Amino acid sequence: MRRPSQSSEESISIRSWTVPDEWHDSDAGEVCSSSSSSMSIPNCPLAPSLGGSGSDIDVTLDVDDMMPSLVEQVSRMDVVNPEVLRVTPVFRALEHFAVALRFAADGDFYHKSRASTKISTFWSHSWHGGQWKKILTLVTLYNGTAAVSLAFLTGVLMMVLFSFGTLPGIDRGWWRPADWEWSCWSTSAGLVVASLVLTCWRSQTRVFLDCICISQNDDRLKTDAILSLAGLLKKSDSMLILWDPTWTERLWCLFELAAFLKSKTTQQQHLIVRPIFLGPLSIAIYLMFFALALPISTVPIRNATTIVEVLGAMVLSFLVVAFPTASTLRRYFRDLDTMKLQLLSISVDSTRSSCCDQDHVIPSGQRILCDRKIVKECVKIWFGSELSFENTVRTEVLDLLNRDLTEKVFSTPWALGVTSPLFLAFMDVSASMAPDPDDRQPALALLLEGLVVWLCYVPATKDLIILLVRVGRKRSRSTCLEILKNTLVLGAAATPVFVLLIAYGLTRFADPRHALRRAGIFVCCTLFLVVCNFLLGLGLKALLRRPGW
Ligand SMILES: [Zn+2]
């Protein structure tokens, strides 16, 4: 199912409805099922009010009477029926191009789930955010580490095999002597392995995804699942929030977060927040680095013109990704500003819920119960009062979302992962030099330089670039100024890269005959630049703490 407020066709909360015949035979206190596809919440609390009547006459209920029972059920944080505590492996949720996430309203995916006693990760998302962004973010989140790691290991294996002469090389028409062969194995095999693993990896992590783990066709199970929502969160080791600006506006998303915070009984229960654009962005940056790495290890270079052409193509592929990336990141940090304002003035009444959007009447004309009322009563029980819940959101939740979305999203492992193709190119060039005894030392020096750039300079520069984007996030008045601002941000972000290239060029003259000593000087320069980046970052952080920034 989609959660209660997310479907216009399948309203979960019902203000009044017609009671199907089978209810009349239900035992009081037992969960009841409904033949009406438009209902879900009503169940056992109502049974007594039916009085065990065997009448065939439909009975219209005043569902305001149901409220105390429903609230009591939800707020107890119990799983009312063990059958609804279900999980699905991540790969099942993502198979067939994540069909379950794309066509949740049109299909029944219940068969992809199975009963469990524990949920590893509860996925919380808004159905109003971008589908493909969400899917790609899940793919990179669950398959990305395996893809990058296996691509890297493949690169190392190829480098070793080529160095020992096991693999053939390609003639790129330059360097001495004429029969010089180049390795392109690490980069190309890395790309193939990364692509295959990213798309085919079968992550076994057991997750709860509403449209798979809640039955669409069995109203009794659907009802039980909704009543157990808080209980399901209590049984979850972690909660993954796939954040987009609509998430913070949705009543049920905040309800899930409130329930998770309330139900956290151990420190092992984690909250993970990721913006949904992170997946497409990570893939784009990873491919951009492959576009930079492939020419370094494959393109034949006959004369100076080809060098210019190759460099031109590399700069173009960089700009094609970098420009939209700068624009996306600036918009993201503006969205975070909006989120802060939203959460600071949050109230249960200001969130959006589709029941209210529909004015509590579904297309068939039936009136439906307002989800907001249930949520309000639950938060009163969990947090003491609505005000206390709102204060928790304005302080704890705001701090948590702000910290996670600002600092934890672009982590060091993430930066190393998306830039790893560059190091694969270093492996190829190094492996190409290794077979010649005279070039063994330069080969080793090159590998060392690549490793230091990748492991030290990339994370430090990433932090600086993110801070630069945050400083330049404000929107300009016109499109032209906006393009100019993106260009300026990009120029500022590219500066540390140029500084490093200059340092690399200059250190080539330091000790031309001793490659390892030269590499040592370059490593010292790189570490000095890392410290400079760090200090600049501290300055920018101080600037961002000032009012108006
Ligand atoms: Zn409502």
Cα 427 to averaged position of ligand 1 atoms, centre (Å) = 59
Q: How far apart are CA 145 and CA 198, in angstroms?
A: 9
Cα 133 to averaged position of ligand 1 atoms, centre (Å) = 28
The residue-averaged pLDDT of 321-329 equals 90
Cα 490 to averaged position of ligand 1 atoms, centre (Å) = 45
Q: Which has more pLDDT, 460 or 1?
A: 460
Q: What is the dihedral of CA 247, 252, 254, 259, to 10 degrees?
A: -140
Cα 464 to averaged position of ligand 1 atoms, centre (Å) = 45
> At 533, is the pLDDT very low, low, confident or very high (cuts 50, 70, 90)?
very high
Longest Cα separation, the chain: 100
The residue-averaged pLDDT of 272-300 equals 89
Cα 372 to averaged position of ligand 1 atoms, centre (Å) = 5
Cα 450 to averaged position of ligand 1 atoms, centre (Å) = 58
Cα 93 to averaged position of ligand 1 atoms, centre (Å) = 30
Cα 353 to averaged position of ligand 1 atoms, centre (Å) = 6
Cα 241 to averaged position of ligand 1 atoms, centre (Å) = 23
pLDDT at position 410 is 92
CB 447 within 8 A of CB 430: yes
pLDDT at position 86 is 94
- Among 274, 271, 245, 247, residue whose Cα is nearest residue 259: 271
DSSP secondary structure string for all residues of 334-351: HHHHHHHHHHHT--GGGS
> In this model, does residue 9 exceed pLDDT 60?
no
Cα 237 to averaged position of ligand 1 atoms, centre (Å) = 30
CB 67 within 8 A of CB 377: yes
| pTM, two decimal places | 0.82
> In this model, does residue 331 exceed pLDDT 60?
yes
> In this model, does residue 434 exceed pLDDT 50?
yes
The DSSP element (H or E) to which 241 belongs, if any, is strand 236-243
Q: How far apart are CA 89 and CA 113, in angstroms?
A: 8
Q: How far apart are CA 465 and CA 480, in angstroms?
A: 23
Cα 343 to averaged position of ligand 1 atoms, centre (Å) = 20
Q: How far apart are CA 449 and CA 110, in angstroms?
A: 52
Cα 194 to averaged position of ligand 1 atoms, centre (Å) = 46
Cα 437 to averaged position of ligand 1 atoms, centre (Å) = 76
Q: pLDDT for 43-52, tens place per residue?
A: 333 232 233 3
Mean pLDDT, the chain, rounded, equals 81
> At 520, is the pLDDT very low, low, confident or very high (cuts 50, 70, 90)?
very high
> In this model, does residue 298 exceed pLDDT 90?
no
pLDDT at position 473 is 93
Q: pLDDT for 89-124, tens place per residue?
A: 999 999 888 888 887 667 788 889 999 999 999 999
Cα 7 to averaged position of ligand 1 atoms, centre (Å) = 13
Cα 354 to averaged position of ligand 1 atoms, centre (Å) = 7
Q: Which has more pLDDT, 70 or 3?
A: 70
- Among 79, 68, 70, residue whose Cα is nearest residue 233: 79
Q: How far apart are CA 296 and CA 298, in angstroms?
A: 6
Residue 438 C-alpha from the chain's centroid: 47
Euclidean distance between the first and the last CA atom of the chain, given in angstroms as a whole number: 42
Cα 375 to averaged position of ligand 1 atoms, centre (Å) = 10
Q: Which has more pLDDT, 489 or 175?
A: 489
Cα 344 to averaged position of ligand 1 atoms, centre (Å) = 22
SS3 431: helix
> In this model, does residue 266 exceed pLDDT 90?
no
pLDDT at position 81 is 87
Exposed/middle/buried for 257, CB within 10 Å: 0-12, 13-18, 19+?
A: buried
Give yes or no for a cis peptide into 177 (omega within 30° of 0). Answer: yes
CB 66 within 8 A of CB 369: yes
How many other CB atoms sit within 10 Å of the CB of residue 341?
Answer: 10
> In this model, does residue 360 exceed pLDDT 70?
yes
Cα 214 to averaged position of ligand 1 atoms, centre (Å) = 22
For residue 393, the one-letter residue type is: V
Backbone angles phi, psi at 178, to 5 degrees: -65, -30
The DSSP element (H or E) to which 287 belongs, if any, is helix 278-298
Question: In percent, how much of the chain has pLDDT > 90?
Answer: 39
Cα 131 to averaged position of ligand 1 atoms, centre (Å) = 25
Cα 8 to averaged position of ligand 1 atoms, centre (Å) = 12
> At 38, is the pLDDT very low, low, confident or very high (cuts 50, 70, 90)?
very low
- What is the residue extent of each domain of the chain? 437-549
Cα 261 to averaged position of ligand 1 atoms, centre (Å) = 23
DSSP secondary structure string for all residues of 111-152: GG-EE-S-EEEEEEE-TTS-HHHHHHHHHHHHHHHHHHHHHH
* Poorest-pLDDT segment among 197-211, 289-303, 475-489: 289-303
* Poorest-pLDDT segment among 96-110, 111-125, 226-240, 447-461: 96-110
Q: What is the dihedral of CA 184, 411, 341, 233, to 10 degrees?
A: 110
* Poorest-pLDDT segment among 147-151, 243-247, 360-364, 445-449: 360-364
> At 427, is the pLDDT very low, low, confident or very high (cuts 50, 70, 90)?
very high
* Poorest-pLDDT segment among 53-67, 88-102, 118-132: 53-67
SS3 31: coil
> At 135, is the pLDDT very low, low, confident or very high (cuts 50, 70, 90)?
very high
pLDDT at position 267 is 62
Cα 58 to averaged position of ligand 1 atoms, centre (Å) = 25
Q: How far apart are CA 239 and CA 377, in angstroms?
A: 23
> At 541, is the pLDDT very low, low, confident or very high (cuts 50, 70, 90)?
very high
Cα 260 to averaged position of ligand 1 atoms, centre (Å) = 22
Cα 110 to averaged position of ligand 1 atoms, centre (Å) = 27
> In this model, does residue 138 exceed pLDDT 80?
yes
pLDDT at position 370 is 80
Q: Any idea which residue has 């982590």 for tokens? A: 411
Cα 494 to averaged position of ligand 1 atoms, centre (Å) = 49
